[in-house]
């Protein structure tokens, strides 16, 4: 924990609150609040596969020089080493929308938001600068000196220039795909879709919007059926349809990453059906785009009546067998808690006698968190709230709050 905690507590706190289940009747926890100074309480580096990257005070990378992620100081330089060519950075202590990360030090370099995939130069060292701002700076360049605090990390990538990256094409997505005809239940992690339309439909309007921060589309390229679409045409294209099966590709690219979605649109029947009438394929009473119970378990059928697997449907996760998950779920190296009803939970959750805290996206939190009244709580690496103990010299009471 940041050793300046006593000073931070005395400063003005700006907080964003949401409803949460409280771990004790005397507590009213909602979400993490941030000090107005802009100083960060922790900076974490991880490979795109989710492994933690250690930071050091010296480029000899010896254990005696290791620096905890909550001990990095403003205006200091640190060192890290990894064999992964792609990493991600997350921070605590400031609103993530007010933080930007710069790769290199050229004046025209644009900052990216925390959580973005950063590609390192293989076999060499990449200088990363993490800056906080009093407000959301929007698109900002390295030459802009209006930042509140700055942290520099020199990351050495030991991967060879010929090595393949294990996580290529996994960090760019579409936010939505919509059609003027037919039914499509979109999930950004699902790449293949089958859609039936009437035989009288000879063209279809397809809209494919990229999944990006704050609707900043400049760095994204979207193609529908080979043609580039952008914000000026609302990411929409009209595509002509032949009788039978139409295989339409949608690609989205950003910073070298590329993802392809495939639409199999059947006009008036499938490729193995000679029926060319204007009526869609018979559904044989199969329920589509809705929840169904199978052997007492909930599943979700897609537009073709097939169960969705290994994907989210809104706040619910469907497992490899198609059944809705409940309880704890590890997805993308992040823990989520799904209640008995399968819904992803946020806020404080009491599970098997321990209190856990999930952020607004349902992600389990660890380390120090702070409520809007200025109280600190510590969550172990497994997410459980600490109480009646001392952490880093700070004593926690029976309700988990730091006793000043």
Q: Inform me whether the pLDDT recorded for 344 exceeds 90.
A: yes
Q: Tell which wins on pLDDT, 29 or 53.
A: 53
Share of the chain above pLDDT 90, in %: 33
Q: Tell which wins on pLDDT, 22 or 287.
A: 287
- Dmax over CA atoms of the chain, in Å, equals 78
Architecture of domain 174-267: Sandwich (2.60)
pLDDT tens column, 394-403? 999 999 999 9
Q: What is the mean pLDDT of residues 253-260?
A: 76
pLDDT of residue 130: 95
Q: Inform me whether the pLDDT recorded for 128 exceeds 80.
A: yes
pLDDT level of residue 302 (50, 70, 90 thresholds)? confident
Q: Inform me whether the pLDDT recorded for 7 exceeds 90.
A: no
pLDDT of residue 255: 61
pLDDT level of residue 326 (50, 70, 90 thresholds)? very high
Cα–Cα distance, 165 to 46 (Å, whole number): 15
Q: Can 174-267 and 290-325 be said to share one CATH topology?
A: no
Lowest mean pLDDT among 37-51, 132-146, 311-325: 37-51
Q: Inform me whether the pLDDT recorded for 206 exceeds 90.
A: yes
Q: What is the mean pLDDT of residues 209-233?
A: 79
User: Tokens standing for 324?
Assistant: 């809705």
290-325 is a CATH 3.30.930.10 domain: no
- Contacts of range 22-26, beta carbons closer than 8 Å, 24 or more positions apart: 22/348, 23/348, 23/350, 23/355, 23/385, 23/399, 23/400, 24/399, 24/400, 26/399
Q: Inform me whether the pLDDT recorded for 76 exceeds 70.
A: yes
- Give the three-state DSSP class for 214: helix
Q: How far apart, in Å, do the first and last CA atoms of the chain sit? A: 15
Helices (H), 321-361: none
pLDDT level of residue 213 (50, 70, 90 thresholds)? low
pLDDT of residue 269: 55
Please report, for the chain, the start and end positions of each structural domain, with discontinuous segments joined by +.
42-157, 174-267, 290-325, 331-396
Q: For residues 305 and 283, is the Cβ–Cβ distance under 8 A?
A: yes
- Contacts of range 232-236, beta carbons closer than 8 Å, 24 or more positions apart: 234/207, 235/207, 235/208, 235/209, 235/210, 236/205, 236/206, 236/207
Q: What is the mean pLDDT of residues 370-375?
A: 76
pLDDT of residue 303: 81
331-396 is a CATH 3.10.20.30 domain: no
pLDDT tens column, 8-52? 444 433 333 333 333 443 343 444 444 444 689 999 998 876 778
């Amino acid at each position: 924990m940041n050793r300046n905690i006593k000073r931070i507590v005395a400063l003005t706190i700006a907080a964003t609150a949401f409803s949460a289940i409280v771990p004790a009747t005397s507590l009213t926890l909602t979400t993490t609040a941030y000090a107005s100074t802009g100083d960060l309480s922790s900076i974490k580096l991880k490979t795109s596969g989710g492994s933690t990257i250690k930071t050091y005070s010296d480029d000899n990378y010896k254990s005696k020089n290791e620096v905890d992620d909550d001990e990095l100081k403003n205006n200091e330089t640190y060192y890290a080493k990894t064999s992964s060519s792609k990493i991600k950075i997350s921070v605590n202590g400031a609103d993530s929308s007010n933080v930007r990360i710069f790769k290199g030090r050229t004046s025209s370099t644009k900052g990216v938001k925390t959580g973005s995939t950063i590609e390192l130069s293989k076999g060499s060292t990449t200088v990363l600068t993490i800056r906080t701002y009093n407000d959301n700076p929007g698109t900002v360049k390295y030459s802009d000196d209006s930042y509140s605090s700055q942290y520099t990390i020199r990351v050495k990538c030991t991967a060879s220039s010929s090595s393949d990256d294990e996580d290529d094409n996994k960090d760019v997505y579409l936010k939505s795909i919509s059609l003027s005809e037919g039914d499509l239940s979109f999930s950004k992690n699902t790449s293949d879709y089958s859609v039936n339309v009437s035989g009288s439909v000879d063209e279809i309007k397809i809209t494919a919007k990229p999944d990006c921060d704050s609707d900043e589309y400049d760095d994204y390229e979207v193609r529908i059926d080979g043609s580039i679409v952008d914000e000026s045409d609302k990411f929409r294209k009209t595509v002509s349809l032949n009788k039978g099966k139409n295989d339409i590709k949608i690609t989205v690219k950003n910073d070298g990453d590329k993802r392809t979605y495939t639409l199999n649109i059947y006009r008036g029947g499938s490729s193995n059906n000679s029926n060319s009438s204007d009526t869609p394929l018979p559904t044989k009473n199969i329920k589509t785009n809705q929840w169904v119970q199978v052997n007492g378990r909930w599943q979700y059928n897609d537009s073709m009546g097939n169960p969705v697997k290994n994907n989210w449907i809104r706040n619910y996760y469907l497992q490899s067998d198609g059944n809705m998950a409940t309880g704890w779920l590890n997805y993308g190296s992040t823990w989520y808690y799904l209640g008995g009803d399968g819904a992803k939970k946020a806020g404080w959750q009491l599970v098997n006698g321990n209190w856990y805290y999930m952020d607004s996206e349902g992600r389990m939190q660890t380390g120090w968190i702070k409520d809007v009244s200025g109280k600190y709580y510590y969550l172990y690496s497994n997410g459980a709230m600490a109480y009646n103990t001392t952490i880093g010299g700070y004593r926690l009471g029976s309700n988990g709050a730091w006793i000043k």
